Chain A
């Protein structure tokens, strides 16, 4: 499977994603500079984490206008799978490819720690390989990860099963204490209405090998690979 990993000035998780896709999972992955206007033969796109354009103005606000994002938009409109991670989540929201926005953590702290995630549905190209009931242990590292959407949008997300992951405690309960950033309803990741664009704040690429302490992140990438025709 051919992955394109978009690289903006200030991206810093792009190489990690490429490493996991190529060296851990044995698939083809190439970096795509943000000035590119075409995704080439890519069958899936990852918008990685980092601090694109220094997070100036708002996180993801400048990156969404990069030429490559027009190509990502067309790719998504044709049903191509797009995964955003951390800053990638912020960019996809700013671009309008996902509803809502990520704002400053309620604690005002930059949170860098492992969290537990519960997958709400296996019905998406990003979760279909995640066993029911399995908690994922993934690291977070962000200052603006508090998911916000208005009531109407939240109701629509719930009704369409678009909430893919919640922050939970070790028992799998979405408690206030297990919510690292103040996200509404402990939301850690969502997908769009068509289910081919998804994003989350935690970093699956930083937890895809046992040597790193946990390989739960692999399940997300394996889900995408499994879905590829």
Chain B
């Protein structure tokens, strides 16, 4: 006589509504949003602090600051034109040297190089980007400048001395030395970003050109480079942004003189170098404010340059982090 045990009713949880509020999710999203919102806020704060630091000089000089050439902390007269000129000229020299080199390397590495060399060469050039600026400066002072002064500059003057650019006394620390150091420093950036842009070009572009009977070189010039053009321009502009703001190495080799000279052998100054040299020693409020004004201008220029570069790169490789990750 065994009673059939009635099975216990299966305990079911009440049906979960689809739109259940999950507090974990909410809290998680809130924390992440806080971190994400903080970044635009920080940038806004940075702009505000720079502006308020510079406000004294801005109200005193206004836009004339950009065109005036006197820089006299004793008489409290400040004009940033030589600094702006030096920044632009040294970056231009750097790009003239670095762009052909880095585009050449990038095209070689993505289109021609045997597979075994691609990674190692890219890696070695990446190492150049990892060297701290101050180490470039040290090397510039004690190795590069002596070589330039005793060998390269005299040769240049003999060969191209008919140009005003290559005339005059040779000191060593000079605009050209700064341009060369900058070129070495900017090259890995331009190279790695253009490499990423070229890698983003679809293979069908290459295959179509090759199928039409193009040689590999013709495929690169007619199908790959035109497709990637805006991204490559972006890479170059990104390099320009780096060169404009580069501080330590330039400070150490440019000679630091508030002057505009026709000769590239003459010392000069850049915006970043002036801030680095004079900021901690500036005594007058106006001097500090003038340097903050320089920083503000430098910031504006690099923002415009970088935003432009970024949009151009995004056109080829959508949302790409090329050149903006720590890699």
A binds B: no
Residues of B within 8 A of A (CB): none
